[in-house]
Every structure is written in C-alpha cells, then in structure tokens.
Amino acid sequence: MKTVITYGTFDMFHVGHVKLLRRARGLGDRLVVAISTDEFNAQKGKKAFFSFEDRAAIVAACRYVDEVIPENTWDQKRDDILGNDVDIFVMGDDWEGKFDDLSDICEVIYLSRTPDVSTTYIKETLPNWS
C-alpha cells in the first residue's frame, strides 16, 4: 500500500483544493491530509475563516481523503511521514524546493496549482461580489 501525505490550511474549500486532493490521492492508495490548526495559523500570521474543526470535517468528507491529522508545527512533517509509513509527500508548486530535505525518507512531489482560484483570491473578491 502506497501512502501519500499533504499539508495545508484548506480554508474556504474550493475546486482547487478538490483537484489537489484528487491528484495527490491518484499517486497512491491512501491519502493523509494534515490541516493547520488555528493555533499554528496564528503563529504563521494567518487567520482562517473556518475553525480547524470545521476545516477538518470538510476535508474528511472529501472522497479522496482517507485520514485527517492536525498540523501543529512546521517541524512535525518528518515525524508524520515516518509515523504514517508515508511513501510520497505532496505540496503545491508554490512550495517548490522548500521540502526537498524530506527526500531522504520519501518521494517529494510538487503539483501545479489550479489557475485562477485560491482562498486568497476568494477572500479578496468576495466583499465586492454581487
């Protein structure tokens, strides 16, 4: 069984998230998704619209996802990979090169992002939408 893991905030779940999760799951037999907790987002200077619990429930409901775990720190990735017998670590290509140090314990893949959709774009556009 080949296990894949990815990380993110997954706020304001949209088609870009679905496409990323579908492509990640397509690389293996099992997909683990680590979602940034509210506390970790605060450390990063980010604030999600939905709570960690709600974001975790939304992502867990996606048919491509087998397990959701909390992301509490930047440094937990190596332990998550080893603890979940992960074969492939996947991130969006906006993180290209940032996690290459994990290639000693698993394959690291950066997937292209869905053009013209992002949580940032939605948050910026929504106030002016009518």
Tokens representing residue 27 in the block: 């690389």
Annotated catalytic residue 44? yes
The one-letter amino acid at 62: C
Query: Residue 5, class by beta-carbon neighbours within 10 Å (0-12 exposed, 13-18 middle, 19+ buried)?
Result: buried
Annotated catalytic residue 2? no
Query: Residue 52, class by beta-carbon neighbours within 10 Å (0-12 exposed, 13-18 middle, 19+ buried)?
Result: buried
DSSP state of 7: E
Tokens representing residue 90 in the block: 């996947």
What is d(CA 81, CA 59) in angstroms, rounded to the nearest whole number? Answer: 19
Catalytically annotated residue among 2, 44, 47, 123: 44
Catalytically annotated residue among 2, 19, 46, 98: 46
Residue positions annotated with a catalytic role:
44, 46
